[in-house]
Chains A and B, each alone.
Chain A
Amino acid sequence: MIREQETTLYLGPQHPGITGNMMVKLKVKGDTVIKAETHVGYLHRAFEKLIENRNWLQSFTLLCRFCVPEPDPMELTYARAVEQLEGREVPERAKYIRTIVSELARIQSFLLWYGGQSGSSGLYTLGQWSVGDRNYILDLFEDLTGARIYHMYMWPGGVRRDLPEGWIDKAYKTMDYLEKRLTDYNQLLFDNAIFQKRAQGVGIIPKDKAIEWGVVGAPLRGTGIKHDVRIDEPYEAYDQLKFVVPTYEGGDVWARALVRRDEIKQSISIIRQALDKLPGGSYYNRIPNPMKWTVPAGEAWVKTESVRGEIGFYVVSDGSNKPRRVHLKGAAYAHGVSVLEKILPGQNIADVSFILNSLGVCPPEIER
């Protein structure tokens, strides 16, 4: 007679299927998860403590490292928060450049997601293609900012540098190339019977609970609820550009993947529009000497749409040259802990890393 016993499984921190450096402690019975518990803190660098000892501009070096796959929304959100506190205007050209850069950041993060999502279902070819093609976006970043991953490009008052010569043509070309490649990716992933069978009906987030649970971003749009910060509270140049926010019903991994598939197309279209409309003029409202630069006392709560969902910065200033408090709310803060713990019970062990990838859990965002 076979008795079914409960076993404890530790998924991570050293595990190829985990997203980043975190641990999910699973209670399993046979192949099914009964209880899940997220353990984080392996990437805790005490950013929010360190930023209190840096001045307003120095904090950018730390800020962009909050979430590694997509550092630009962090810079943008913080820069907007500081601008809001100070009442600093941003030139029109800078707004467009910021929009382009944050959409490029979205695309490269989507391509990384293609690799993660297909890799966790055993399809390694797509990862080779999409992560390889991601380098073309990083090349654009390199031309623009000088770095591949961490840019520190969007500063309060605008952007650090103007677009270099020939960059716009290169960006157009890259978008054309990516659009062609997307067909290949989607054939490889969405026409694949393995992925279809594994993704449909797995990791369901109920529609009626989603907002209350704190689900945001693609997982929320995958349940059929239309919510996007770029439309709810338009920032930068998003109110002047046309784009659709895709939604799908179902709330499972499949729906989330479809949402992301459509969003990357929207991002390409947004970049094209912004490049077409790019106005001339100044790109930077100069800030005073950063060592002595003080920001008026007050608080700001600013939200931005990143790939994983809505991220927000709560910034408090006490009128000195250092921030009093900078507190990040990452999308993964709810996704990675409370939502994950709710949807994992009842799932298969093999699907855990699959679900983790589809929720876009980014542990450095949780523990900072």
Chain B
Amino acid sequence: MSNFKKETKILKSLKDVFEIKGSVKSDKRISIKADKKNVSSILLFLKNQKGFIHLNHISCVDWIEQNEFELVYIVWNPKTRLTVMVHTRIKRDEPVMENIDTIWDQANTYEREFREMFGIEFPGLIGAKEFILEDWDNIPPMRKDFNSQQYAIDTFSTRPGRENAQNVREAIQKRSGEEIPDFAKKYSRD
């Protein structure tokens, strides 16, 4: 294995400029943790100075136990083929994040999605309020405290017959009267 020379160099140059924690995760993957207010300047620095001109992905994870959302910005350098993942945490109670669609246009799509699915506000974000959902009046659905199954039961009329689908093996056994062999029992759900 290589000794991650290129990766360490990028990480060091980032650490020189910004207050970040970070490490080289694996080959071509650099993972850094930054404060919310530094993110846009880190991304600008990476894009303009270090050649990470391709925004691969933005992801959002709901860490409800810590009462936080984690936003992950994944940028890619087409020359050195390195990937930097910039993590930041924002409070779940006041979910506001800086809008970066001035740096990359396609970030607008992600941010519109997160506004809708997680309820994160991006000040100054343009574009239609409704991106994927239509007439949604509940809490944003991708949040962990939204119970999709309960909502589905309450909203949609269902066909009977799925209630005992929790344990298929037992349901079949009850219906047909056949015995479950011991070796099969260890694969059942509980």
A213 to B109, CA, bound (A): 12
Using C-beta atoms within 8 Å of the partner chain, give the interface range for chain A.
Answer: 35 or more
Residue among A314, A324, A367 with the highest chain B CB neighbour number at 10 A: A314
**Do B61 and A53 touch (CB < 8 A)?**
no
- Closest Cβ of chain B to A40, distance in Å, is 6
Q: Which residues of A contact B104 (CB under 8 A)?
A: 212, 214
Q: Does B72 contact A (CB under 8 A)?
A: yes
Instruction: Please tell me if the beta carbons of A213 and B149 are within 8 angstroms of each other in the complex.
Output: no
When each residue 208-252 of chain A gets 1 if its CB lies under 8 Å from chain B and 0 otherwise, what string results? 000111100000000001010000110000000000000000000
Q: How far is the CA of A291 from the CA of B169 in the complex (A)?
A: 14
Nearest-CB distance from A238 to chain B (Å)? 15
Looking across the interface, which residue of chain A has its beta carbon closest to that of B55?
Answer: A214
Q: Which residues of A contact B105 (CB under 8 A)?
A: 213, 338, 342
B56 and A53 form a contact (CB under 8 A) = no
Nearest neighbor of B65 in chain A, beta-carbon distance: A318
- Report the minimum CB–CB distance from B49 to chain A (whole Å): 15
CB distance from B150 to the nearest CB of A (A): 11
Which residue from B81, B148, B188 sits with its C-beta under 8 Å from A50? B148
Please tell me if B92 contacts chain A, counting CB pairs below 8 Å. no
Are B109 and A333 in touch, CB under 8 angstroms? Answer: yes
Write out, one digit per residue, whether chain B residues 130-165 have a CB within 8 A of any chain A CB (1) or not (0).
111110000001101010110000000000000000
Contact of A49 among B55, B56, B74, B141 (CB under 8 A): B141
Contact with A along B177-190 (1 / 0, CB 8 A): 00000000011110
| Contact call B59/A325, Cβ cutoff below 8 A | yes
CB-CB nearest in chain B for A55: B189
CB neighbours (8 Å) of A46 from chain B are: 141, 148
Chain A neighbourhood of B99, CB < 8 A: none
Asked if A5 is at the interface of the complex by the 8 Å CB criterion, the answer is no
B140 CB to closest chain A CB (Å) equals 11
Q: Contact flags (1/0) for A295-332 with B, using CB distance below 8 Å?
A: 00001010100000000101010000000110101000
Q: Are A291 and B187 in contact (CB under 8 A)?
A: yes
Q: Are B148 and A312 in contact (CB under 8 A)?
A: no
* Cβ-defined contact, A327 with B148, below 8 A: no
Closest approach, in angstroms, between the C-beta of A147 and any C-beta of chain B?
20
Is A143 at the interface (CB under 8 A from chain B)? Answer: no
The 8 closest A-B pairs by CB, nearest first: A41-B132, A329-B57, A338-B106, A214-B106, A327-B59, A314-B59, A334-B106, A325-B61
24 contacts between A and B (CB under 8 A): A40-B131, A46-B141, A49-B148, A50-B148, A212-B54, A213-B105, A214-B104, A214-B106, A289-B186, A291-B188, A299-B72, A301-B29, A312-B56, A314-B57, A327-B57, A327-B59, A333-B106, A333-B109, A337-B109, A338-B105, A338-B106, A338-B109, A342-B105, A367-B132
Known: A41-B134, A299-B31, A329-B56. 10 other contacts (CB 8 A): A40-B131, A41-B133, A46-B141, A46-B148, A49-B148, A50-B148, A84-B26, A211-B53, A211-B54, A327-B57
Residues of chain B whose beta carbon lies under 8 Å from any beta carbon of chain A: 26, 28-29, 31, 53-57, 59-62, 72, 74, 78, 81, 83, 85, 104-106, 108-109, 128, 130-134, 141-142, 144, 146, 148-149, 186-189
